């Protein structure tokens, strides 16, 4: 009898410490989740139709989503101030957007095409000038010997001669890829306006539609989470686009004032590149530095001065005023997100890594807060008494 009591006591201790332990249950759930993910990855061919569907629909959703965050405040402004109904306001916003895009194409594309043709025609001269400057500096400072230069030249020539055959044999494949790309762009251009229209029309009701599949107890928290995600992404998209436009204007005006060749082309390039946080402006500086270096020392100094002025205005005025700290992310975190996103997903990961991480951060924070309330491991954070009674009964 005594042994049976000791056995029951030991089992009770094991049950209390391990089987009925909240941390053990959490770890077991994580293990089961990882096991499911592992099995899905091992049978990835079953998910091929899903990935194909996502790859087809994602470009339209991304384009429509960006335009949604740009046009949504304008639509609400026309509804409130001009007293237009929703359908009319959306139609006006979309017509003005199409007209603006068409105007940009009509006015800028021919000019940019001429500048691009000029850049392509000047590439041999740029290359010769660059080699001449490098040879002059090498003779003055003796960086590389003539034998080393000859060996580098031979290796480069051999590399491109070998690659030439591969380029020729890959032409048909490249043509096939180009046809696929053009087809995807056509699908995006056709479907994105439709997606945008319904986003503008039903965007405010979207959380309500989605929340219907969520258990009633968690619907309020789920809608709040969606609202936080929407607020962070909207602030980031609108802020980044505004800062990118300002940076493009600053670079274009600055390079034009100092007389840099292809100032408009380089300035327009700096705008989209600035969508990459921290590194975009530095990447856009490279072609300007090369042209300034080949033009004259004073032009090179002028390019550096323009970049420093832009850097001060962007970091000290534009970004704090427009962006603020809407993402609530430390700069080091953003740098690591950019590095990881670029390594895993390339340019797409660099551009969309920061807002994607912001969405993931809101989701993880919501899930962790829910776990804090119902795990009994954080007594200082308790749920409402009504929720706590339901949890105890379950």
Residue 12 is predicted with a pLDDT of 65
- Tell me the CA distances in angstroms from 272 to 201, 236, 240, 328, one per residue in order: 28, 15, 10, 23
Least confident of 116-120, 213-217, 302-306, 312-316: 116-120
What is the DSSP track for 181-226?
HHHHHHHHHHHHHHHHHHHHHHGGGHHHHHHTTS-GGGHHHHHHHH
* Inter-residue long-range contacts of 93-99, CB under 8 Å, 24+ positions, other chains counted: 93/200, 94/193, 94/196, 94/197, 94/200, 97/67, 97/71
pLDDT band at 3 (very low <50, low <70, confident <90, very high): very low
CB 223 within 8 A of CB 212: no
- Which segment of 21-30, 62-71, 359-368, 383-392 scores lowest on mean pLDDT? 383-392
**219-258 and 297-313 helices cross at what angle (nearest 10)?**
150
Residue 329, both tokens: 């992310």
Q: Which residue has the higher pLDDT, 36 or 305?
A: 305
DSSP H or E segment with residue 244? helix 219-258
What number is the average pLDDT over the span 341-362?
83
- The mean pLDDT value of the chain amounts to 77
* pLDDT value at residue 106: 82
Rama region for 262: left / alpha / beta (φ>0; ψ in -120 to 50; rest):
left
* Higher pLDDT among residues 372 and 244, named by residue: 244
In contact, 290 and 130? CB cutoff 8 Å: yes
Per-residue pLDDT tens over the stretch 202-242: 877 888 888 888 888 888 888 888 888 888 888 888 888 88
The predicted pLDDT at position 18 comes to 61
pLDDT digits (tens, 9 = 90+) for 307-348: 999 888 888 888 777 766 666 777 788 888 888 888 888 778
pLDDT tens for 163-194 read 555 544 544 455 455 566 667 777 778 888 88
* pLDDT confidence of residue 388: 45
- Tell me: pLDDT of 9 over 70: no
* Least reliable range by pLDDT among 159-168, 182-191, 192-201, 287-296: 159-168
The per-residue pLDDT for 173 is 52
């Amino acid at each position: 009898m005594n042994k049976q009591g000791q056995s029951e006591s030991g089992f009770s201790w094991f049950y209390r410490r391990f089987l009925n332990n909240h941390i053990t249950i959490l770890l077991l759930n994580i293990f089961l989740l990882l096991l499911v993910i592992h099995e899905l990855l091992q049978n990835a061919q079953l998910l091929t139709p899903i990935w194909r569907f996502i790859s087809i629909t994602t470009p339209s959703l991304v384009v429509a989503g960006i335009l949604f965050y740009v046009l949504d405040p304008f639509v609400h402004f026309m509804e409130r101030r001009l007293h237009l109904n929703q359908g009319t306001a959306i139609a006006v916003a979309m017509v003005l957007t199409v007209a603006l895009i068409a105007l940009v194409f009509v006015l800028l594309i021919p000019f940019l095409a001429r500048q691009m043709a000029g850049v392509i025609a000047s590439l041999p001269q740029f290359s010769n000038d660059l080699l001449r400057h490098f040879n002059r500096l090498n003779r003055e400072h003796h960086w590389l010997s003539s034998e080393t230069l000859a060996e580098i030249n031979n290796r480069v020539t051999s590399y491109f001669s070998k690659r030439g055959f591969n380029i020729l044999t890959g032409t048909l494949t490249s043509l096939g890829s180009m046809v696929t790309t053009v087809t995807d762009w056509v699908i995006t251009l056709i479907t994105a306006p439709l997606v945008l229209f319904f986003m503008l029309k039903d965007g405010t009701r979207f959380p309500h539609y989605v929340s219907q599949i969520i258990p009633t107890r968690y619907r309020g928290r789920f809608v709040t989470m969606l609202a936080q995600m929407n607020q962070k992404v909207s602030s980031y998209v609108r802020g980044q686009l505004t800062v990118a436009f300002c940076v493009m204007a600053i670079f274009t005006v600055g390079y034009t004032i100092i007389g840099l060749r292809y100032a408009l082309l380089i300035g327009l390039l700096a705008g989209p590149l600035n969508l990459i946080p921290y590194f975009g402006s530095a990447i856009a500086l490279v072609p300007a530095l090369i042209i300034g270096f080949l033009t004259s020392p004073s032009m090179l100094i002028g390019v550096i001065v323009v970049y420093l002025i832009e850097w001060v205005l962007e970091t000290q005025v534009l970004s704090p005023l427009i962006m603020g700290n809407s993402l609530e992310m430390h700069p080091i975190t953003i740098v690591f997100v950019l590095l990881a996103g670029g390594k895993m997903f390339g340019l797409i990961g660099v551009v969309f890594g920061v807002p994607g991480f912001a969405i993931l951060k809101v989701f993880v924070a919501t899930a962790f807060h829910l776990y804090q309330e119902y795990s009994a491991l954080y007594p200082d954070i308790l749920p409402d008494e009504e929720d706590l009674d339901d949890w105890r009964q379950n």
